[in-house]
Amino acid sequence: MAEDRVDAIQAAWRRERPDIDVSSIAILTRTLLIGRYLERVRERALRELGTDTSTLDVLATLRRAGAPYRLRTSQIEAASPVTAGAISQRLDRLEARGLVRRDRDHADKRIIHISLTKKGRELIDGIVAGLMEKESVLLTPFSERDRRTLERLLTHWLRWLDENA
Protein backbone atom coordinates (compact mmCIF):
# COMPACT_ATOMS: atom_id res chain seq x y z
CA MET A 1 0.00 0.00 0.00
CA ALA A 2 1.32 3.47 -0.89
CA GLU A 3 2.36 5.89 1.81
CA ASP A 4 0.01 8.69 2.72
CA ARG A 5 0.67 12.08 4.31
CA VAL A 6 0.37 10.62 7.80
CA ASP A 7 3.08 8.06 7.06
CA ALA A 8 5.33 10.94 5.99
CA ILE A 9 4.62 12.86 9.21
CA GLN A 10 5.28 9.80 11.33
CA ALA A 11 8.50 8.98 9.46
CA ALA A 12 9.75 12.53 9.91
CA TRP A 13 9.14 12.39 13.65
CA ARG A 14 10.85 8.99 13.90
CA ARG A 15 13.85 10.49 12.11
CA GLU A 16 13.89 13.65 14.22
CA ARG A 17 12.93 12.10 17.56
CA PRO A 18 13.83 8.40 17.55
CA ASP A 19 13.73 8.52 21.35
CA ILE A 20 9.93 8.86 21.56
CA ASP A 21 7.07 6.60 20.51
CA VAL A 22 5.14 8.31 17.71
CA SER A 23 2.93 5.34 16.85
CA SER A 24 -0.22 7.18 17.98
CA ILE A 25 0.16 9.48 14.97
CA ALA A 26 -0.81 6.61 12.68
CA ILE A 27 -4.25 6.31 14.29
CA LEU A 28 -5.03 9.66 15.89
CA THR A 29 -3.93 11.92 13.04
CA ARG A 30 -5.80 9.80 10.52
CA THR A 31 -8.87 9.84 12.78
CA LEU A 32 -8.73 13.64 13.03
CA LEU A 33 -8.32 14.02 9.27
CA ILE A 34 -11.15 11.58 8.58
CA GLY A 35 -13.37 13.39 11.10
CA ARG A 36 -12.78 16.73 9.41
CA TYR A 37 -13.50 15.21 6.02
CA LEU A 38 -16.71 13.57 7.25
CA GLU A 39 -17.85 16.83 8.83
CA ARG A 40 -17.39 18.69 5.52
CA VAL A 41 -19.20 15.93 3.61
CA ARG A 42 -22.12 15.99 6.05
CA GLU A 43 -22.40 19.78 5.93
CA ARG A 44 -22.42 19.70 2.13
CA ALA A 45 -25.01 16.90 2.07
CA LEU A 46 -27.24 18.79 4.48
CA ARG A 47 -26.98 21.95 2.36
CA GLU A 48 -28.00 19.90 -0.68
CA LEU A 49 -30.97 18.63 1.34
CA GLY A 50 -31.89 22.22 2.24
CA THR A 51 -30.97 22.15 5.90
CA ASP A 52 -28.11 22.40 8.39
CA THR A 53 -26.63 20.59 11.37
CA SER A 54 -28.53 22.57 14.01
CA THR A 55 -31.88 21.78 12.38
CA LEU A 56 -30.91 18.13 12.01
CA ASP A 57 -29.87 17.89 15.67
CA VAL A 58 -33.14 19.17 17.12
CA LEU A 59 -35.55 17.55 14.68
CA ALA A 60 -33.74 14.20 14.76
CA THR A 61 -33.70 14.22 18.58
CA LEU A 62 -37.47 14.70 18.62
CA ARG A 63 -38.06 12.11 15.88
CA ARG A 64 -35.92 9.48 17.60
CA ALA A 65 -37.94 9.98 20.79
CA GLY A 66 -40.81 8.14 19.11
CA ALA A 67 -44.49 9.00 19.11
CA PRO A 68 -45.74 11.50 20.14
CA TYR A 69 -42.35 13.08 19.19
CA ARG A 70 -42.33 15.30 22.25
CA LEU A 71 -39.58 16.10 24.75
CA ARG A 72 -38.97 18.63 27.50
CA THR A 73 -36.57 21.41 26.63
CA SER A 74 -34.13 20.03 29.21
CA GLN A 75 -34.11 16.65 27.43
CA ILE A 76 -33.23 18.28 24.12
CA GLU A 77 -30.48 20.27 25.85
CA ALA A 78 -29.07 17.09 27.42
CA ALA A 79 -28.95 15.39 24.00
CA SER A 80 -27.14 18.27 22.36
CA PRO A 81 -23.50 19.38 22.48
CA VAL A 82 -24.47 23.08 22.55
CA THR A 83 -25.57 25.49 25.27
CA ALA A 84 -29.13 25.99 26.50
CA GLY A 85 -29.10 29.44 24.89
CA ALA A 86 -28.19 27.96 21.52
CA ILE A 87 -30.99 25.39 21.87
CA SER A 88 -33.45 28.17 22.65
CA GLN A 89 -32.40 30.06 19.50
CA ARG A 90 -32.72 26.89 17.43
CA LEU A 91 -36.18 26.25 18.82
CA ASP A 92 -37.21 29.83 18.06
CA ARG A 93 -36.19 29.38 14.40
CA LEU A 94 -37.82 25.96 14.09
CA GLU A 95 -41.04 27.15 15.73
CA ALA A 96 -41.18 30.16 13.37
CA ARG A 97 -40.93 27.72 10.44
CA GLY A 98 -43.75 25.57 11.83
CA LEU A 99 -41.49 22.56 12.43
CA VAL A 100 -41.88 22.37 16.22
CA ARG A 101 -44.41 23.58 18.77
CA ARG A 102 -43.81 24.69 22.36
CA ASP A 103 -46.37 23.87 25.05
CA ARG A 104 -46.25 24.57 28.79
CA ASP A 105 -46.82 21.61 31.05
CA HIS A 106 -50.32 21.62 32.54
CA ALA A 107 -49.17 20.59 36.01
CA ASP A 108 -45.90 22.56 36.18
CA LYS A 109 -45.88 25.74 34.11
CA ARG A 110 -42.07 25.96 34.38
CA ILE A 111 -41.71 22.91 32.13
CA ILE A 112 -41.89 23.44 28.39
CA HIS A 113 -42.57 20.55 26.04
CA ILE A 114 -41.30 20.66 22.47
CA SER A 115 -43.32 18.70 19.92
CA LEU A 116 -42.46 17.84 16.37
CA THR A 117 -45.20 19.06 14.02
CA LYS A 118 -46.39 17.05 11.05
CA LYS A 119 -44.41 19.39 8.81
CA GLY A 120 -41.32 18.88 10.99
CA ARG A 121 -41.72 15.11 10.95
CA GLU A 122 -42.05 15.02 7.17
CA LEU A 123 -38.97 17.23 6.83
CA ILE A 124 -36.77 15.19 9.17
CA ASP A 125 -37.87 11.91 7.60
CA GLY A 126 -36.79 13.21 4.20
CA ILE A 127 -33.54 14.64 5.54
CA VAL A 128 -32.53 11.42 7.29
CA ALA A 129 -33.35 9.26 4.27
CA GLY A 130 -31.37 11.54 1.96
CA LEU A 131 -28.47 11.85 4.37
CA MET A 132 -28.18 8.10 4.91
CA GLU A 133 -28.16 7.56 1.16
CA LYS A 134 -25.40 10.14 0.66
CA GLU A 135 -23.31 8.98 3.62
CA SER A 136 -23.52 5.27 2.85
CA VAL A 137 -21.27 5.91 -0.15
CA LEU A 138 -18.48 6.80 2.29
CA LEU A 139 -18.42 3.20 3.50
CA THR A 140 -17.95 1.75 0.01
CA PRO A 141 -14.33 0.67 0.61
CA PHE A 142 -15.41 -1.66 3.43
CA SER A 143 -16.95 -5.11 3.29
CA GLU A 144 -19.83 -5.87 5.66
CA ARG A 145 -17.38 -7.72 7.90
CA ASP A 146 -14.99 -4.74 7.93
CA ARG A 147 -17.88 -2.42 8.76
CA ARG A 148 -18.90 -4.55 11.74
CA THR A 149 -15.27 -4.68 12.93
CA LEU A 150 -14.84 -0.93 12.52
CA GLU A 151 -18.11 -0.27 14.34
CA ARG A 152 -17.06 -2.55 17.20
CA LEU A 153 -13.64 -0.91 17.54
CA LEU A 154 -14.98 2.64 17.36
CA THR A 155 -17.74 1.84 19.86
CA HIS A 156 -15.20 0.38 22.27
CA TRP A 157 -12.90 3.39 21.87
CA LEU A 158 -15.69 5.97 22.27
CA ARG A 159 -17.03 4.26 25.41
CA TRP A 160 -13.55 4.25 26.88
CA LEU A 161 -13.08 7.94 26.03
CA ASP A 162 -16.50 8.84 27.49
CA GLU A 163 -15.51 7.14 30.75
CA ASN A 164 -11.88 8.20 30.97
CA ALA A 165 -11.23 11.40 29.07
In a domain, 165, yes or no: no
Range of the domain at 70: 53-127
Of the candidates 105, 102, 104, 97, the residue with the CA atom closest to the CA atom of residue 123: 97
Q: What would the pLDDT profile of 49-85 be if each residue is shown by its tens digit?
A: 999 999 999 999 999 999 999 999 999 999 888 888 8
Domain membership flag for residue 84: yes
Number of Cβ atoms within 10 Å of the Cβ of 86: 14
Residue 73: give its domain's CATH number.
1.10.10.10
pLDDT tens digits, 97-123: 999 999 998 888 889 999 999 999 999
Indicate whether 19 and 41 sit together in one domain. yes
| Burial track 125-150 (b if 16+ CB lie within 10 A, e otherwise) | eebbebbeebeeeeeeeeeeeeeeee
CA-closest candidate to residue 131, choices 34, 36, 38? 38
**The model's pTM:** 0.84
Quote the percentage of the chain above a pLDDT of 70: 99
Number of domains in the chain: 2
Same domain assignment for residues 64 and 31: no
Instruction: Indicate if the alpha-carbon torsion angle 55, 61, 63, 69 is positive or negative.
Output: negative
Tell me if 158 is assigned to some domain: no
Same-domain pairing of 41 and 87: no
